Amino acid sequence: MKNRGMIAIAHRGASAWAPENTVAAFDAALEVGCRAVEFDVRLTADGVPVVIHDETLERTTNGKGRVAETNWLDILRLDAGSWKHPRFAGSRVPSLEEALQAISPCAQPVIEIKVPINPSMVISLLTRYDILTDAVVMSFDENILASLRAENRKVVLFQLLDSWSPKAVRSCRAAGITGVVMKFDQWALDRAMMAKELMPHVWAYDVNDPGAAAACGAMGLDGVITDFPDIVRARAEA
C-alpha cells in the first residue's frame, strides 16, 4: 500500500447522504470519486460476517435484538434504509463479501472489525478478491489484529486508539502494524510528528468539516475518515 497523500475515507460509506454501512452508502461514496471506503463488521449467530456498526439492530434497521444472537437469514430480511429516508427502503445489511464486491473494484476497502472473527475467513475473502495487500483491516482490539497477523503477514493492519499514547504507537510498530487511527480531537502537531516518525500511515476519524480536514493536512496526516467524502476530499487534496 503506497502513501498517496492525504485521502478521504468514506465513513460507513457516504453516511451523511445514505444509510450507513449499506451498498447505497458505498455507491454514494464511489460516485464522488472516493478512493477508500470504511465499514464495520460483526458476526451473526450463525457465524456470518455482516456489515453493521452497533451490537443491536434497532438503530439502523427495523429489527430488534443483538446481531450476535440473530441468524444471517433473519438479518437479510430487515430494512436497513428507511430510517435514513423512504427512498432507501429495502436496503439490506450486507455481508462482508457483498461489501467487498461493491467497493473493491473501484476503491480501497477499510474494514473495522468489531468482534473476534476467524482470521482465516477474513484472509480468504481478501485473497479471493485480490486485495490482501490493498485493503486495510483495523480494530480497537489489538488481539484481533494479532490473530490476523499470525494468519498472514501480508495483511495491512491499522490500530484504532481510544486516546494518545506514545507507548501504544511504539507497540504498534513492534507488532507490524502499518497505521494508527485516532479521533480528530486527540491529535496535535507533536503527536502527529511522533506517529509519522514511527508509522507509515497516520489517520484521523470524525473529520466532518473542511476546517478539520485542513488541520489534519497541516499536521501531516495522510487519511481522514469522514461522513462527507466530497467536501473533505476537495479540501484535503487541494
pLDDT, tens digit, 9 for 90 and up, residues 202-226: 999 999 999 999 999 999 999 999 9
Task: Determine the distance from the C-alpha atom of residue 161 to the mean position of all C-alpha atoms in its chain, rounded to a whole number.
Answer: 14
> 28-65: per-residue pLDDT in tens?
999 999 999 999 999 999 999 999 999 999 999 999 99
Three-state SS at 35 = coil
Q: Is 133 domain-assigned?
A: yes
> Model-level pTM?
0.94
Q: Is 118 domain-assigned?
A: yes
What H or E segment, with its residue span, contains residue 176?
none
pLDDT at 5: 74
Number of structural domains the chain divides into: 1
Q: Is 177 domain-assigned?
A: yes
Active site residues: 11, 53
Three-state SS at 70 = coil
Q: Is 37 domain-assigned?
A: yes
Whether the Cβ atoms of residue 181 and residue 159 lie closer than 8 Å to each other: yes
Parent domain of 163 = 7-42+108-236
Q: Is 27 domain-assigned?
A: yes
Phi then psi for residue 70, to 5 deg, are -125, 135
CATH number of the domain to which 194 belongs? 3.20.20.190
Q: Is 119 domain-assigned?
A: yes
What is the Rg, in whole angstroms, of the alpha carbon atoms belonging to the chain? Answer: 17
Q: Is 96 domain-assigned?
A: no
Task: Work out whether strand 223-226 and strand 201-205 pair parallel, antiparallel, or are unpaired.
Answer: parallel
Q: Is 158 domain-assigned?
A: yes
Q: Measuring CA to CA, which residue among 125, 119, 145, 58 is closest to residue 93? A: 58
What mean pLDDT comes out for the span 191-202? 97
Go through the chain and tell me how many residues it has: 238
Half-sphere exposure of 87 (CA within 13 A, CB side): 4
Listed in sequence order, the DSSP H helices in the chain are 23-31, 72-76, 96-103, 119-128, 142-151, 166-174, 189-198, 210-219, 229-236
